[in-house]
Amino acid sequence: MDSNIVKNLSRIGVVSSVNVAKMTARVRFIDRDDIESYDLHLLNRGSKTFKDYWIPAIDEQVLCLYIPNTGGRGVGEGWVLGSWFSDEDTPVQIGETIRRVDFGDGSFIEHDRASGNLTLHATGDVIITGANVRIN
């Protein structure tokens, strides 16, 4: 395989647009003269029975992966694999036992395995529906 193709299989860029209906994003590659990708698939955890829905924010730094073009020239389909924390974009809470999801408006859900505590903070209404709802 051509070494130039191998160098282009993984790329770092920033999200320039998203298509929520198609679950795709376009990414601008700053190190490549701001060239913009075509629509890249968004990688999520689960898509059949268990579904974890995620759309990256515009200007979020992401890692992209491409597969080689079947014709042997260039790259083919691509995916946005995800993002990571940096000096500019740091986690709100850290810890080995912490799982937290922040929603960007001040709302969050946090679970601490060590204490068993589950914290739900909403900036809007909290709506709970179920066949039976018990509060202990």
pLDDT digits (tens, 9 = 90+) for 69-97: 766 665 678 999 999 999 988 888 889 99
Q: Does 131 lie in the same domain as 72?
A: no
Q: Is residue 5 pLDDT above 80, yes or no? A: no
Q: The domain containing residue 121 runs over which residues?
A: 91-136
Supply the DSSP symbol for 56.
P
Q: Is residue 8 pLDDT above 80, yes or no? A: no
Q: Among residues 63, 82, 101, which one ends one of the domains?
A: 82
Mapping DSSP to helix (H, G, I), strand (E, B) and coil, where does residue 51 land? strand
Q: Among residues 44, 63, 82, which one ends one of the domains?
A: 82
Q: Is residue 108 pLDDT above 90, yes or no? A: yes
Q: Does 33 lie in the same domain as 72?
A: yes
pTM (whole model) above 0.85: no
Q: Does 110 lie in the same domain as 78?
A: no
Other Cβ atoms closer than 10 A to 97? 10
Q: Does 71 lie in the same domain as 24?
A: yes
**Mean pLDDT over residues 55-59, rounded?**
94
Q: Does 50 lie in the same domain as 69?
A: yes
- Among the listed residues 48, 17, 14, 50, the one whose alpha carbon sits nearest the alpha carbon of residue 31: 14
Domain total for the chain? 2
CB-based contact 58:16 (threshold 8 Å):
yes
